[in-house]
């Protein structure tokens, strides 16, 4: 008999980095060019089945425009993980990730020295432009104690399914007491009163 696991994963990042496209590629295996900007937030459900588990994901898609940023902290309540997205061809989008990282920490907290359930994903590798160096990425990931980082493309599908599934399975495994270095979030009172 399969055990059931429910996870809430929130996608955050600057406007137009491709969060919606990544979710659609992962859940539906499609790329829809010329999509409209996300207004507020939405989600897609997706199920991953292994030999022993059925993992049900709620993948929350958030608007990256500054005027919608107030919505993101509400969505982070109860999140099991975050996919932090930037555009490999836009260095400004990488500079913005600190805003979303800090938002995640302020809402969910973290246990000292525990790896965080965050996947840093550089999207749009199909453009062949790397405006963020490997050194910059490596330094940022190391400084924030993040175990997962990948570069790929929602358009081509490169690294989308395999990297997100690897990330999800690590979160599921971290909930098992047998894992030696669990990723974890604190059960703390958020610094700000929840907005929803």
Mean pLDDT computed over 33-62: 80
Tens-place pLDDT, residues 62-76: 765 555 566 777 878
Spatial neighbors of 22 by CB under 8 A, at least 6 apart, are 11, 83, 85, 121, 123, 154, 160, 164
Burial of residue 3 (number of CB atoms within 10 Å: 0-12, 13-18, 19+): exposed
pLDDT: is 192 or 46 the higher one?
46
pLDDT of residue 35 exceeding 70: no
Mean pLDDT, the chain, integer: 83
Separation between Cα atoms, residue 127 and residue 98, nearest integer Å: 24
Residue 14 has which token pair?
């600057």
Separation between Cα atoms, residue 24 and residue 95, nearest integer Å: 25
Tens-place pLDDT, residues 78-111: 899 999 999 999 999 999 999 999 989 888 877 6
DSSP for 92-139 reads HHHHTHHHHHHHHHHHH---TTPPEEEEEEEE-GGG----S-HHHHHH
Tens-place pLDDT, residues 156-180: 999 999 999 999 999 998 876 544 3
pLDDT of residue 194 exceeding 60: no
> Going from the N-terminus, what domains does the chain have, and what CATH number goes with each?
3-174 (3.40.50.300)
The pLDDT, as a whole number, for residue 188 is 34
Of the pLDDT bands very low, low, confident and very high (cuts 50, 70, 90), residue 115 is confident
The pLDDT, as a whole number, for residue 108 is 84
């Amino acid at each position: 008999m399969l055990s059931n696991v429910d996870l809430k994963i929130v996608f955050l990042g600057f406007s137009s980095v491709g969060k919606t496209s990544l979710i659609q590629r992962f859940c539906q295996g499609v790329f829809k060019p010329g999509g409209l900007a996300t207004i507020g937030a939405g989600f897609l459900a997706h199920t991953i089945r292994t030999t022993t588990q059925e993992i049900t994901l709620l993948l929350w898609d958030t608007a990256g425009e500054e005027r919608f940023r107030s919505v993101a902290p509400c969505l982070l309540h109860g999140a099991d993980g975050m996919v932090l997205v930037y555009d490999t061809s836009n260095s400004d989008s990488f500079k913005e990730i600190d805003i979303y990282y800090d938002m995640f920490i302020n809402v969910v907290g973290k246990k000292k020295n525990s790896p965080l359930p965050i996947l840093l994903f550089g999207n749009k590798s199909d453009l062949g432009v790397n405006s963020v160096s490997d050194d910059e990425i490596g330094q940022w990931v190391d400084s924030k104690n993040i175990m997962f980082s990948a570069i790929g493309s929602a358009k081509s599908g490169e690294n989308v399914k395999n990297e997100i599934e690897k990330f999800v399975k690590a979160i599921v495994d971290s909930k098992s007491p047998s894992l030696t270095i669990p990723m974890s979030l604190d059960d703390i009172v958020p610094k700000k009163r929840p907005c929803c």
